[in-house]
Amino acid sequence: MALRRVQKTYGAVWAVRETDLEIEKGEFVSIVGPSGSGKTTLLTMIAGFETPTAGSIIVGGQDVTMLAPNRRNIGMVFQKYALFPHMTVRQNIEFPLRMRRLARGRDLAKRVDAMLDLVQLGALQHRYPHQLSGGQQQRVAVARALVFDPPVILMDEPLGALDKKLREAMQFEIKRIQERIGATVIYVTHDQEEALTMSDRVAVMHRGRLEQIGSPSDLYANPDNAFVADFVGSVNFIPGTVCGTDHLHVAIKVGNALVQIRSPQGRQAHRREEGAAVRVAARPEHIAIAPYRDRDALSLSGTIETMVFAGASRTALVRLHEVPELVLRADVPSSIRSLPDRGANVALSFSLDALRVFDAEGTA
Amino acid sequence: MMNIQASVQRPSRLATITRPRDASRFAPLTSWLLTLPLVATFAIGFLYPLAKLVTLSFTNGAESYIRLGQDALYFGVMTTTVVTAAAVTGFCLVLGYPVAFAMTRLRGKAALITAACVFVPLWTSVLIRSYAWIVLLQRKGIINDVLQDAGLSVHPLKLLYTQSAVVLAMTHILLPFAILPIYATLRTLPPDLARAAANLGAGAVRTFLLITLPLSLPGVFAGAILCFVLALGFYITPALIGGPGSMLMATLIGQQTTVLLDWPFAAALSTVLLSDALLIVFLFRRALSLSKGFHNVH
């Protein structure tokens, strides 16, 4: 399916700016973004509850932009499930088959049974939705969206109402079902972690604009801009000025110290001009902490303010000496013994390949 | 430490009724005191007169009831009353449902105007609204004028003092009592349900018939009971608009008390009307609790 130059305005307010998106068959694509970024609007346009102000939506080679929602063959799992309270689990799952006249009698029973097996709800099929737990209701909603074999399934924050443990279990459950039937899924969430673990590709939206789309590892390692870098995973931004280049590297002055990074290419080439105000982005796991005496020309230094234990790693918050108003977050493996204590001065070094550089704040 | 010990101590018997068990509740005694004014009003203003009424109807033994049972006239009036109330209820629901449905969909100015059209009549005296119907329906009234001017009828039609006029006016007056409960129920339905139905392949008509209508039935039933019970005891409108041929129970009771001064018989009529209303409400609720749409919602 594809979105071609789709946009939506409410009066003078942009909800979704011109967006292009191609999704392959069987692909699991997440749309992430903070609330109000237009991701749900995009989804409601694909489902047909809203018509785009301009552009077209194509599903399986057919333009469905102006088609009523009930004439589109798109499944949807709603944020609050939207199960019909006056129908049993089984009746809920039968509903799309009856409405679309896809099956009747024996055939209908067989398809519903198969779907109940898939979501493991056979034993609860005669219960009403209010007699089910949140996780069970969620599974009914998924079954109801899948039972009529739509080529595309939309999910609007389907796990938002569940607690953390259950949410993680359901992530695998949804992924398992999706892979088993090879469905194309568009999954909207504000939880970037959820998007990274489940998706083949992730699209990041911000203020109605599709900022970047790519595989989770690609987004994480090569964000196009500071917003994506910040939204996908966590990142430290260190402000500085470009002060020297050779053909491979750029030196960036941070306070009185220098940080060296790989020379940015292509669209970002302007960021190697001397004097350009930039931000260096470093993920917490790419910052190494060393004893203060080991510092050299290419490392920064700081004072440890807090040390937090977080299972596999420890998170250190370090106040930079070079930029005193800045506190960096560094993740160090818990397995390292001899970690410096709170208040200790340390040297911070960066893995050269993992650093990225963006325009300074306000110019991005 | 002190606090913990204090709370572990067994409370005295007085404390169990004067102190609340948890912060979000009133103590039992406080609860009773708070309901006391209403309970007292209810007892003095409703239960006592009701008991008095029933006693009054038996002043001459069961004589009033025997007369009531023997004379077919009274049975006829009773039937007319029930049929009228049922017809009014039916019309109220049929006319009120679309209005309630529209009220949940409208936004801004249109919503305000619709709400005003529902509420303003409710704030207007029943007497005024009944006289308004007389103005409309009388021999030289607006409707007859229009019909004659348009050449649709040669002679003025007899519109006033008919059974249909009574049903028409009562429907108009009771309409808000059907609209408001239906609207209240429709408003609580999540809009996602209708969207889900559309997404699953149901068109607008089937979405309404299979999802919206069944889920709004509790409101429909509440509106029906309200309209029906109010219609059973309607007095002013049938008295003004209905002819002598279409006498209803309330009018008959009024006649017995104010004109014929036969209080025991009037009391007997009232008691019968009251028990009819109770019986019908009971049967109605019973039928509904057996139907699925009612008890599975929320």
Alpha-carbon torsion, ordered A211, A215, A218, A219, to 10 deg: 30
Give the C-alpha distances (Å, rounded to integers) separating A231 from A175, A190, A225, A343, B112: 23, 10, 10, 30, 43
In chain B, the residue whose alpha carbon lies closest to the alpha carbon of A130 is B298
When CB atoms are compared, the residue of B192, B198, B214 closest to A80 is B192
Specify the long-range contacts of residues B121-126, CB closer than 8 Å, at least 24 apart: B121/B172, B121/B173, B121/B175, B121/B176, B122/B176, B126/B173, B126/B236, B126/B237
Q: Which positions in chain B touch A48 (Cβ < 8 Å)? A: 198-199
CATH number where B137 lies: 1.10.3720.10
**Alpha-carbon gap: A46 to the closest alpha carbon of chain B (Å):** 11
What integer pLDDT is reported at residue B42 of this predicted model? 92
Cross-strand pairs, A239: A279
Name the residue range of residue B91's domain: 73-293
Query: What is the average pLDDT across A200-228?
Result: 90
Is residue B67 over pLDDT 60? yes
ipTM value: 0.81
When CB atoms are compared, the residue of B192, B198, B214 closest to A69 is B198
A205 pLDDT tier (thresholds 50, 70, 90): very high
What integer pLDDT is reported at residue A104 of this predicted model? 84
What integer pLDDT is reported at residue A215 of this predicted model? 93
Determine which of B188, B193, B199, B207 to mutate to test the interface with A (most A C-beta atoms within 10 Å): B199
Q: Which positions in chain B touch A99 (Cβ < 8 Å)? A: 197, 200-202, 206
Q: Which positions in chain A touch B210 (Cβ < 8 Å)? A: 95
In chain B, the residue whose alpha carbon lies closest to the alpha carbon of A101 is B201
CB of A10 less than 8 A from some CB of B: no
What integer pLDDT is reported at residue A324 of this predicted model? 85
Q: Which stretches does DSSP call E strand in chain A?
A: 2-10, 13-22, 28-32, 54-59, 62-63, 74-77, 152-156, 184-189, 201-206, 209-214, 236-245, 249-254, 257-262, 277-282, 287-291, 300-310, 313-320, 327-333, 345-350, 356-359
List pLDDT tens digits, range B167-223: 999 999 999 999 999 999 999 999 999 999 999 999 999 999 999 999 998 899 989
Q: Which positions in chain B touch A49 (Cβ < 8 Å)? A: 195, 198
List pLDDT tens digits, range B128-152: 988 999 888 888 888 888 888 888 8
Query: What is the average pLDDT across A312-323?
Result: 86
Q: Which two tokens stand for residue B294?
A: 């009612």
**Alpha-carbon gap: B98 to the closest alpha carbon of chain A (Å):** 22
Give a yes or no: residue B252 inside a domain: yes
CB of B193 less than 8 A from some CB of A: yes
Give the C-alpha distances (Å, rounded to integers) separating A229 from A248, A264, A292, B207: 23, 15, 29, 44
Which residue did the predictor score with more confidence, A34 or A338?
A: A34
B71 pLDDT tier (thresholds 50, 70, 90): confident
What integer pLDDT is reported at residue B90 of this predicted model? 96
On whether the CB atoms of residues A222 and A252 are closer than 8 A, the answer is no
Q: Which positions in chain B touch A76 (Cβ < 8 Å)? A: 196, 199
Cross-strand pairs, A309: A314
In chain B, the residue whose alpha carbon lies closest to the alpha carbon of A77 is B196
Closest CA to A284 of A321, A310, A248, A264: A310
H helix intervals, A215-309: 216-221, 226-231
List pLDDT tens digits, range B216-274: 988 999 899 999 999 998 888 888 888 777 788 888 898 888 888 888 999 999 999 99
Provide the number of structural domains found in chain B.
1
By three-state DSSP, how is residue A263 classified?
A: coil
B293 pLDDT tier (thresholds 50, 70, 90): very low
Q: Which domains does chain A have, with CATH numbers?
A: 2-229 (3.40.50.300), 234-359 (2.40.50.140)
Which residue did the predictor score with more confidence, A220 or B16?
A: A220
CB of A144 less than 8 A from some CB of B: yes
DSSP state for residue A70 in the 8-state scheme: G
Give a yes or no: residue B191 inside a domain: yes
Residues 6 or more apart whose CB falls under 8 angstroms from that of A299 comprise: A257, A290, A347, A348, A349, A350
Edge-first strand listing for the sheet containing A327-333: A287-291, A345-350, A300-310, A313-320, A327-333
CB of A21 less than 8 A from some CB of B: no
Q: Which positions in chain B touch A74 (Cβ < 8 Å)? A: 199
Give a yes or no: residue B198 inside a domain: yes
Is residue B297 over pLDDT 70? no
In chain B, the residue whose alpha carbon lies closest to the alpha carbon of A80 is B192
Residues 6 or more apart whose CB falls under 8 angstroms from that of B93 comprise: B178, B182, B220, B223, B224, B227
Give a yes or no: residue B55 inside a domain: no
What would the DSSP string read from start to end of chain B? -HHHHHHHSPPPHHHHHHS-SSTTS--HHHHHHHHHHHHHHHIIIIIHHHHHHHHHHTTTTTHHHHHHHH-HHHHHHHHHHHHHHHHHHHHHHHHHHHHHHHHHH--HHHHHHHHHHHHHHHHS-HHHHHHHHHHHHSTTSHHHHHHHHTTS-SSPP--TTSHHHHHHHHHHHHHHHHHHHHHHHHHHS-HHHHHHHHHTT--HHHHIIIIIHHHHHHHHHHHHHHHHHHHHT--HHHHHHS-GGG--HHHHHHIIIIIS--HHHHHHHHHHHHHHHHHHHHHHHHHHHHSHHHHT--
B296 pLDDT tier (thresholds 50, 70, 90): very low
Is residue B3 over pLDDT 60? no
**Alpha-carbon gap: A331 to the closest alpha carbon of chain B (Å):** 43
Closest CA to A32 of A185, A221, A211: A211
Q: How many CB pairs under 8 A join A and B?
A: 69
What would the DSSP string read from start to end of A77-133? E-TT----TTS-HHHHHHHHHHHTT---HHHHHHHHHHHHHHTT-GGGTTS-GGGS-
Q: Which positions in chain A touch B295 (Cβ < 8 Å)? A: none
On whether the CB atoms of residues A313 and A302 are closer than 8 A, the answer is no
**Alpha-carbon gap: A68 to the closest alpha carbon of chain B (Å):** 8
Is residue B104 over pLDDT 70? yes
Say how many C-beta atoms besides its own lie within 10 A of residue B209's C-beta. 11
